[in-house]
């Protein structure tokens, strides 16, 4: 498996600079003081309330009272470096759950449109999960397909993202199976690798280098030295990759081709049985990006047009104005999710629309397990005689082959 | 467990049902399973991890399931109440389902575990305490050993509701508006609820649009109030809404408060008797009206 | 959430005129309100009336919508039990609003903002009393900024609130 995120051989060791834990917090404090928005994982009480009584009433037994979320920091002390997985991905900072596109006001026959700004103040994401940053680069493709999405692009252009190597989370992670890694810098500008006393920082883009340069007083001088730290960093990364790889290994290309040519296969149809169509998976997913556009009338002659997250697992997603619904069963909708992520998007953009973060599996309380599902498809794909002839070059065809689909 | 498996095997073999919906062991814990082959009946389990209310799969809009034919479904007490709700509202025909009741002693709050745990005050789901339907009556079969009562949790769900009730108004508003602003409008609560079966949910209505779809706090408050009110007198307290919520809104507290209101106002408690009419939609000439001038 | 919360000052409070939406049934309360008008009864003018065929038609969502759109308080009023033009609409409303009233308080909404009444076609004076009492209760409860602060306000509402505050402060300084 070619790993384009393997920075070990490409990045000169001299670019790796050490920053202590305290140094990282000081850097964060500096950013905040200069008025820069800093987004980072924060440990939050699920049942936070100014009222202790309300907090106690809300917290259910066995529940970890604290969960991690990406938040805009108000103080450097909030920065959580425990490397747990935030509940929601970074997606919401680039494609918010709901965002105004413009406001309108109508007086008589005069309509005034007030557009929202499409340029954004520079901001920094610290200690991002590699699966979350990689998702942004993957979604960049569709956000610039045909039409360039100014709000998405504006936010992307304004944001410097520094990843923090992931230790792997649990048995539902599978980033390595989709050509990523716990130390990937795809979609990001640099990587922090935990070592004794702090982190080694490796910039991976010019913006990352500028970031290091701008904050160099927080880094130890003489970057690239200290053999034992370099070794620790390599060991850390290798161990994490091994842990994740143990969860799932698939041939993403043959999975793609199998899904593409087995639309009517009973295996795909059966996978949606448990699914409730609740949409939790699409909400927590870092690469799901479908949105709906709604008009909110907030008063006589005034309103706001917003876009807000939508999900393909809802029955309404493909409901036509005529009343016809081409995906009228949960089986069809769930099949669509797999199809879009692992076949359609890769065929169209050359990227799997999934970063293996495992959130969908963890959040599905009906027991839908993407690791299990992908493993099953991989097995079917590799079984001789069950595949129709796949694309010659797999990744570059624009249109999927004709399916043996009958009208349903 | 063997009793359950043998019964399932029998019902499938003799064609009484075309599918059995029950629980099985998955990689991450217990989860729903659809069994059509009698040989697979051994997959069925029942233990303290089986929190899922399988009655959600009886939703008449689920063509996938409806088209399978007559369904056998395993139900705990709360689940059986949900079936009664669907029967009461003519969403399901009694002859279309075979109900396999299990004797239940409660489930874990944190149910997604590889191994089942014995229940105690610190791990039991608070909503189980005081359950009045541990040997469901509505069922066609009742299997499993008699179970002890669910242990009293450290803080019962009624105590939690009472604690909130005692707070001053502003603190309650601050708490609930904070909780509802977490909502991402995935509608998991609605999708998994066995009683949420409307052909077109009012939240999806666009002509006119009563509930703002955007996930801002204002739209979320409207949605969460409506969801709760539309379940008043219907909610069976299975807790699935809260379990499925990806952002951890304590919906069982909302639902429990509504159960209390309905009990106090109309002397009504949800049961698994489909003949008993639901309180909203019904009325008495001497209903309370002290709040009306 | 708190960016649009407005600071309460005594001056702003005094300048505050509650906005109340009343959902009333056509056959009883609407007619009763009309009688209050034709009888030239003096009453607070803060109430906008929305006419429905019956209280049984009133969905709690109407009330939520009123709060979303800027109402500080709401009145729901209809025929007395046994007098409903459609026989039982008000009985259904009675149950529905009993639950709604209790539930909204649990969520932290001040019960002074919700007024329910039975006002018949001949009870013009009662309608006046209901209105005056509702306005007085909502005035005491204050503007319902907490509800409007739930989402970004359209600029017009924020401007209005700012203008109100500015005027109040001017009055204080004068």
Q: Parallel, antiparallel, or unpaired: how do β-strands A291-299 and A198-203 relate?
A: unpaired
Looking at the fold, whether A232 and A328 belong to one and the same domain comes out as no
Co-location of A158 and A126 in the same domain: yes
Residues of B in contact with A47 (CB under 8 A): 248, 250
- Residue B275, chain C, CB below 8 Å: the answer is no
Verify that A103 and A188 share a domain, yes or no: yes
- For the segment A177-215, what is each residue's pLDDT rounded down to a tens digit? 999 999 999 999 999 999 999 999 999 999 999 999 999
Residue C5, pLDDT > 50, answer no
- Indicate the residue of A279, A330, A362 with minimum beta-carbon distance to B187: A279
Alpha-carbon gap, residue C116 to A327, rounded angstroms:
46
Range of the domain at C62: 18-143
In a domain, A71, yes or no: yes
B165-177 confidence digits (pLDDT tens): 999 999 999 999 9
Look at B214 and A367 and tell me if their CB atoms are within 8 Å: no
Classify residue A8: in a domain, yes or no: no
C136 and C166 assigned to the same domain: no
Which residues on chain A are in Cβ contact (under 8 Å) with C156? 105, 299, 302
Residue pairs spanning A and B at CB distance below 8 A: 167
Are C128 and C106 part of one and the same domain? yes
Whether residue A192 sits in one domain with residue A121: yes
Residue A389 confidence (pLDDT): 37
SS3 A303: strand
Q: Mutual orientation of helices A252-261 and A370-382 as an angle, nearest 10°?
A: 80
Cβ of residue A105 closer than 8 Å to a chain C Cβ: yes
**Residue A128 pLDDT grade (very low, low, confident, very high; cuts 50, 70, 90):** very high
Q: How far apart are CA B33 and CA A367, in angstroms?
A: 9
Q: What is the DSSP string of A1-14?
A: ---TT--TTTS-GG
Nearest CA to B53 out of B283, B227, B239 is that of: B239
Report which secondary-structure segment, H or E, holds A281: helix A280-284
Question: Is residue B281 pLDDT above 80, yes or no?
Answer: yes
pLDDT at residue B188 is higher than 90: yes
| Radius of gyration of chain C, Cα coordinates, nearest whole angstrom | 17
State whether C50 and C114 are in the same domain: yes
**H or E segment to which residue A197 belongs:** none
* pLDDT tens per residue, range B214-247: 888 999 999 999 999 999 999 999 999 999 998 8
In a domain, C87, yes or no: yes
In whole angstroms, what is the distance from residue A79 CA to residue A100 CA? 29
Question: Is residue C1 in a domain?
Answer: no
Same domain, C78 and C28: yes
CB contact under 8 A, B164 and C106: yes
Give C162 or A153, the one with higher predicted confidence: A153
DSSP string, chain B: -HHHHHHHHHHHHTTS-SEEEEEEEETTEEEEEEE-SGGGGGG-B-STT----GGGGG-TT-HHHHTT-SEEEEE-HHHHHHHHHHHHTTSS-GGGEEEEEE-----BSS---SS-----TTTB-GGGTT-S-SS-SS-SEEES---PPPPPPSS-HHHHHHHHHHS-HHHHHHHHHHHHHT-----HHHHH-TT---SS-GGG--TT--S--S-SHHHHHHHHHHHHHHTTTT-----HHHHH-TT---HHHHHHHHHHHHHHHH-----S-TTSPPSBTB--TT---TTB-
The residue out of A245, A271, A304 marking a domain boundary is A245
What's chain A's length in residues?
408
B283 and C92 within 8 Å at the Cβ level: the answer is yes
A197 and A279 assigned to the same domain? no
**Does C121 reside within a domain?**
yes
What pLDDT, on a 0 to 100 scale, did the predictor assign at position C15? Answer: 80
- Find the closest chain C residue to A299 by CA distance: C69
Cβ of B248 within 8 Å of Cβ of A46? The answer is yes
- Tens-digit pLDDT profile for residues A58-86: 888 776 778 899 999 999 999 999 999 99
Same domain, C170 and C109: no
Q: Is residue C4 predicted with pLDDT exceeding 50?
A: no
Q: CB contact, 8 Å: B142 with chain C? A: no
Distance from the Cα of C65 to chain B's closest Cα (Å) equals: 7
pLDDT at A397: 33
What pLDDT does C169 receive? 55
- Same domain? A377 vs A262: yes
**Contacts with A2 (C-beta within 8 Å, 6 or more apart), sequence order:** A179
How far does the CA of residue C151 sit from the closest CA of chain A (Å)? 11
Is B293's Cβ below 8 Å from some Cβ in C? Answer: yes
Residue B87: pLDDT band with limits 50, 70, 90: very high
In a domain, A395, yes or no: no
Best of C67, C77, C88, C106 to mutate (most B CBs within 10 Å, chain B) = C106
Is there a single domain that holds both residue C103 and residue C171?
Answer: no
Residue of B nearest to C65 (CA): B210
A403 found inside a domain: no
Is the CB of residue A298 less than 8 Å away from at least one CB of chain C? Answer: yes
Asked if the structure places residue A209 within a domain, the reply is yes
**Per-residue model confidence as pLDDT tens digits over C55-76:** 999 999 999 999 998 999 999 9
Q: What is the CATH number of the domain that holds C28?
A: 3.40.50.960
Tell me the residue range of the domain where A34 lies.
Answer: 13-52+59-245
Instruction: Work out how many domains chain C is built from and give that number.
Output: 2
Do the Cβ atoms of A367 and B187 come within 8 Å? no
Query: What is the rounded distance in angstroms from the CA atom of residue C127 to the CA atom of residue C144?
Result: 23
Over the stretch A283-326, which tens digit does the pLDDT of each residue have?
Answer: 999 999 999 999 988 778 888 899 999 999 998 999 999 999 99
Domain count, chain A: 2
Q: What is the nearest CA distance from C110 to chain B, expressed in angstroms? A: 7
| SS3 call for C70 | coil
Neighbours of A249 (CB within 10 A): 13
Q: How many helices (H) and strands (E) does chain C have?
A: 7, 4
Q: Does A100 touch chain C (CB under 8 A)?
A: yes
Distance (Å, rounded) from C-alpha C86 to C-alpha A274? 45
pTM above threshold 0.80: yes
Q: Is B182 on the interface with C (CB under 8 A)?
A: no
Chain C contact present for A103, CB below 8 A: yes
> Is C152 in Cβ contact with A105 (below 8 Å)?
no
Give the residue among B113, B85, B79, B115 at the shortest CA–CA distance from B99: B79
pLDDT at position A47: 82
The reply to whether A237 and A297 lie within a common domain is no
Residue A87 to residue B167, Cβ atoms within 8 A: no
Which residues of C fall within a CB distance of 8 Å from B173? Answer: 107-109, 146
Percentage of chain C exceeding pLDDT 90:
73
Average pLDDT over residues A240-257: 94
Q: Per DSSP, what are the bridge partners of residue B19?
A: B71
A330, A236: one domain: no
Residue C135 is assigned to a structural domain of this protein: yes
In a domain, C103, yes or no: yes
Q: Do C28 and C96 reside in the same domain of the chain? A: yes
Helix extents (H) in A159-226: 206-214
pLDDT digits (tens, 9 = 90+) for B58-78: 999 888 888 888 999 999 999
In the predicted structure, residue A6 carries a pLDDT above the cut 80: no
Q: Are residues C154 and C78 in the same domain?
A: no
Compute the distance between CA of residue B33 and CA of residue B29 in angstroms, rounded to an integer: 12
- In this structure, is residue A202 part of a structural domain? yes
Does the beta-carbon distance from C98 to B291 stay under 8 Å? Answer: yes
CA pseudo-torsion sign A308, A312, A315, A316: positive
What is the pLDDT of chain B when averaged over all its residues? 94
Judged by CB atoms within 8 Å, which residues 123-152 of A form the interface with B? none
Rounded to a whole number, what is the largest CA-CA distance in chain A?
Answer: 74
Contact C64 B165 (CB under 8 A): no
Work out the pLDDT band at C2, boundaries 50, 70, 90. Answer: very low
Q: Are residues A135 and A234 in the same domain?
A: yes
Provide the 10 A C-beta neighbour count for residue A72. Answer: 13
What is residue A270's predicted lDDT score, i.e. its pLDDT?
84
pLDDT at A216 over 60: yes
Torsion of CA B160, B162, B163, B169, to 10 degrees: 130
CB contact (8 A) between residue B177 and residue C108: yes
User: Per-residue pLDDT for A10 more than 60?
Assistant: no
Of B165, B177, B217, the CB nearest to C106: B165
Q: Are residues C53 and C101 in the same domain?
A: yes
> Does some domain include residue C7?
no
pLDDT band at C10 (very low <50, low <70, confident <90, very high): low
Query: Which residues from chain B sit within 8 angstroms of residue A61, using beta carbons?
Result: 109-110, 121-126, 153-154
Q: Which residues of B12-41 are buried (b: 16+ CB within 10 A; e: fewer)?
A: beeeebebbbbbbbbebbbbbbbbeebebb
Q: Does C96 touch chain B (CB under 8 A)?
A: yes
Say if residue A172's pLDDT is above 90.
yes
Nearest CA in chain B to C76: B292
Residues 6-45 in C contacting B (C-alpha not used; CB under 8 Å): none
Q: What is the pLDDT of residue B241?
A: 95
Do B283 and C99 make contact, defined as CB atoms within 8 angstroms? Answer: no
- Residue A171 inside a domain? The answer is yes
Residue B228 near chain C (CB below 8 Å): yes
Give the whole-angstrom CA distance, residue A224 versus residue A8: 13
pLDDT (tens digit per residue) in A393-408:
333 333 333 333 333 3
> What is the average pLDDT value for chain A, to the nearest integer?
87
Residues C166 and C101 in one domain: no
Mark yes or no for CB contact C154/A100 under 8 Å: no
pLDDT tens digit sequence for C113-166: 999 999 999 999 999 999 999 999 999 999 998 898 887 644 444 455 455 555
Q: Write down how long chain C is.
A: 174
Q: Which of A47-56, A269-278, B71-80 has the highest mean pLDDT?
A: B71-80
For A265-274, B151-160, C48-57, C139-148, which range has the lowest pLDDT when averaged over its residues?
A265-274
Is the CB of B269 inside 8 Å of chain C's CB atoms?
no
Hey, which residues 48-87 in chain C have their CB within 8 Å of chain B?
A: 59-61, 64-65, 68, 81-82
How close A323 gets to chain B, by Cα (Å)?
12
Residues A145 and A104 in one domain: yes
In a shared domain, residues C155 and C101 = no
Q: What is the mean pLDDT of residues A239-268?
A: 94
Give a yes or no: residue A268 inside a domain: yes
Query: What residues of A are in contact with residue B108 (Cβ under 8 Å)?
Result: 62
> Domain for residue C9, yes or no?
no
pLDDT greater than 50 at residue A122: yes
- Are A240 and A275 in a shared domain? no
Could you tell me if A66 and A173 lie in one domain?
Answer: yes
Put the strands of the sheet holding A291-299 in their side by side order: A110-115, A98-107, A302-309, A291-299
For chain B, list the contacting chains (3+ Cβ pairs, <8 Å).
A, C
Option in B164, B173, B232 nearest C146 (CB):
B173
Give yes or no: residues C77 and C136 share one domain.
yes
Neighbours of A184 (CB within 10 A): 29
Q: If you count residue pairs, one on A and one on C, with CB atoms under 8 Å apart, how many are there?
A: 19
Residue C31 lies in a domain: yes
What residues of A are in contact with residue C69 (Cβ under 8 Å)? 298-299
Chain A closest-CA separation from residue B6 CA (Å): 23
Cross-chain residue pair A302–C152, CB shorter than 8 Å: no
Q: Cβ contacts (< 8 Å) between B258 and chain C: which residues? A: 99, 103
């Amino acid at each position: 498996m070619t790993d384009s995120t393997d920075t070990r051989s490409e990045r000169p060791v001299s670019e790796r600079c050490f920053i202590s834990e305290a140094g990282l917090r000081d850097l964060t404090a500096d950013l905040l003081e200069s008025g820069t928005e800093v987004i980072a994982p924060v440990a939050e009480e699920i049942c936070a309330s100014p009222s202790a009584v309300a907090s106690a009433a809300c917290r259910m037994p066995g529940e970890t009272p604290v969960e991690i979320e990406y938040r805009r920091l108000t103080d450097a002390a909030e920065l959580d470096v425990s490397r747990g997985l935030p509940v929601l991905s970074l997606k919401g900072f680039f494609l918010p759950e709901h965002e105004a596109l413009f406001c309108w006001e109508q007086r008589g026959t005069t309509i005034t449109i007030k557009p929202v700004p499409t340029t954004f103040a520079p901001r920094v994401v610290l200690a991002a999960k590699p699966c979350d940053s990689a998702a942004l680069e993957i979604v960049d493709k569709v956000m610039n397909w045909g039409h360039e999405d100014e709000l998405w692009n504006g936010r992307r252009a304004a944001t410097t993202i520094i990843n923090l190597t992931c230790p792997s989370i649990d048995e539902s992670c599978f980033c390595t199976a989709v050509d990523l890694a716990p130390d990937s810098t795809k979609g990001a500008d640099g990587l922090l690798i935990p070592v004794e006393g702090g982190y080694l920082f490796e910039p991976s883009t010019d913006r990352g280098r500028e970031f290091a340069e701008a904050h160099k007083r927080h880094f130890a001088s003489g970057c690239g030295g200290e053999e034992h730290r370099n070794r620790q960093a390599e060991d850390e990364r290798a161990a994490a990759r091994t842990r994740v790889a143990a969860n799932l290994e698939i041939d993403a290309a043959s999975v793609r081709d199998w899904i593409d040519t087995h639309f009517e296969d009973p295996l795909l149809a059966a996978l949606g049985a448990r699914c409730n169509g609740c949409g939790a998976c699409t909400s927590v997913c870092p690469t799901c990006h479908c949105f709906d556009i709604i008009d909110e009338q907030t008063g006589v002659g005034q309103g706001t047009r917003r876009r807000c997250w939508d999900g393909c697992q809802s029955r309404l997603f493909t409901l036509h104005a005529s009343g016809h619904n081409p995906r009228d069963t949960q089986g069809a909708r769930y099949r669509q999710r797999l199809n879009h992520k692992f076949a359609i998007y890769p065929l169209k953009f050359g990227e799997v629309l999934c970063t293996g973060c495992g959130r969908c599996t963890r959040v599905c309380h009906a027991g839908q397990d993407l690791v299990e599902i992908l493993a099953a498809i991989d097995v079917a794909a590799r079984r001789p005689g069950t595949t129709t002839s796949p694309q010659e070059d797999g990744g570059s065809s624009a249109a999927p082959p004709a399916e043996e689909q009958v009208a349903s | 467990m063997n009793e359950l498996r043998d019964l399932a095997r029998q019902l499938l073999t003799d064609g009484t049902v075309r599918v059995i919906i029950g629980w099985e062991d998955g990689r991450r814990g217990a989860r729903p399973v659809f069994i059509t082959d009698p040989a697979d009946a051994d997959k069925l389990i029942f233990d303290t991890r089986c929190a899922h209310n399988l009655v959600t799969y009886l939703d008449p809009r689920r063509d996938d399931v409806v088209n399978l034919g007559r369904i056998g479904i395993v139900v705990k007490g709360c689940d059986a109440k949900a079936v009664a709700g669907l029967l009461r509202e003519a969403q399901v025909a009694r002859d279309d389902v075979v109900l396999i009741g299990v004797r239940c002693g409660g489930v874990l709050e944190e149910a997604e575990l590889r191994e089942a745990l014995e229940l105690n005050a610190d791990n039991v789901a608070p909503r189980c305490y005081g359950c009045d339907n541990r040997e469901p009556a509505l069922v066609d079969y009742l299997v499993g050993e008699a179970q002890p009562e669910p242990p009293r949790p450290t803080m019962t769900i009624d105590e939690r509701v009472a604690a909130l009730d005692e707070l001053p108004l502003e603190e309650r508003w601050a708490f609930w508006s904070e909780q509802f602003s977490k909502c991402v409008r995935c509608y998991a609560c609605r999708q998994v609820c066995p009683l949420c079966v409307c052909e077109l949910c009012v939240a999806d209505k666009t002509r006119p649009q009563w509930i703002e779809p955007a996930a801002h706090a204002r739209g979320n408050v409207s949605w969460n109030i409506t969801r709760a009110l539309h379940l008043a007198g219907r909610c069976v307290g299975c807790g699935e809404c809260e379990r499925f919520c990806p952002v951890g809104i304590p919906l069982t507290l909302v639902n429990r408060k509504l159960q209390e209101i309905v009990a106090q106002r109309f002397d009504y408690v949800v049961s698994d008797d489909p003949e008993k009419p639901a309180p909203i939609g019904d009325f008495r000439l001497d209903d309370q009206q002290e709040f009306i001038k | 959430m708190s960016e649009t919360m407005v600071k309460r000052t005594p001056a702003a409070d005094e300048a505050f005129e509650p906005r109340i939406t009343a959902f009333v049934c056509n056959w009883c309360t609407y007619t009763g309100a009309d009688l209050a008008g034709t009888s030239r009864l003096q009453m607070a003018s803060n109430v906008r009336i929305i006419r429905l065929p019956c209280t049984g038609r009133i969905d709690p969502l109407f009330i939520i919508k009123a709060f979303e759109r800027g109402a500080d308080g709401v009145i729901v009023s209809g025929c007395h039990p046994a007098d409903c033009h459609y026989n039982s609409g008000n009985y259904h409303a009675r149950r529905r609003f009993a639950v709604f009233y209790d539930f909204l308080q649990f969520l932290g909404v001040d019960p002074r903002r919700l007024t329910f009444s039975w006002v018949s076609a001949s009870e013009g004076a009662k309608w006046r009393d209901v209105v005056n009492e509702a306005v007085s209760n909502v005035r005491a409860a204050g503007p319902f900024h907490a509800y409007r602060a739930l989402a970004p306000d359209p600029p017009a509402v924020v401007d209005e609130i700012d203008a109100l505050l500015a005027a109040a402060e001017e009055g204080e300084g004068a």
